[in-house]
Amino acid sequence: DIVLTDVGQALLPQIKLIVAQFQQLNRQMTNTRELHEGDLTIGIPPNLGATFVAPIIGLFHKLYPHINISVEEHGSDKIGQLILNGSLQVGYVALPITDMPKNVYIFNDEPLQVLLPNTHRLAKKTVIDLSELKKEPLALFSADSSLFHTIMNSFQQIDTRPHVICKSANRELITEMVRAETAISLLPKRICDQLPRQFFHVATLTPTISWRIA
């Protein structure tokens, strides 16, 4: 049998403390390595990716190059459901959504604007009331997007059923329909700011309809 000397007995409590601290440090290092490696699945609405998420994914990859990122495109409501059942770790959604995950962070709140071709009869106006659009042909984001339902609810509040001729998840299709003088649209300010003014007129919408991203 091995028996500690008197000096060993006196140092034993400190030795146990050092060993415990070393074990704790080793666990922390292991956890840190686990946080920097693995797979991450992100849910993104089709109309959102290029505008918001691409720069964020690029920055995240620089910070954590050993995490493999997968992107799935779904409507905002479905993304909320997939987060709740564990199929997605992170999701970007346009509020409101039906099933709200516990941890939600709003990072963008901007108004919708009226996008018209330069030749439209309302193109001289800087502010357009929603009631002025009730008979206009509209091209909007898809019916499975929360933004579509927000717009429809706003029309409902003024007892109007809008004339929607096209619903699409493709932003380029919507803007090209406006450019071709086939329709007008209600789009977030961020998107309108990126469009060339030689083809489009952008007006402020009243009452304000907000595009909230979380």
Each residue's pLDDT tens digit, 179-189: 999 999 999 99
Whether pTM > 0.85 for this model: the answer is: no
> Percent of the chain beyond pLDDT 70?
83
SS3 65: coil
Give mean pLDDT, residues 103-131.
92
* pLDDT for 42 beyond 80: yes
Residue 112 and residue 138: Cα distance in Å, rounded? 14
Residue 209 and residue 190: Cα distance in Å, rounded? 14
pLDDT in tens, 142-177: 877 778 888 999 999 999 999 999 999 888 999 999
**Given this model, what pLDDT does residue 53 score?**
77
- Residues 6 or more apart whose CB falls under 8 angstroms from that of 172 comprise none
User: Which one, of 92, 96, 104, lies nearest residue 49 by Cα?
Assistant: 92
Residue 35 or residue 187, greater confidence: 187
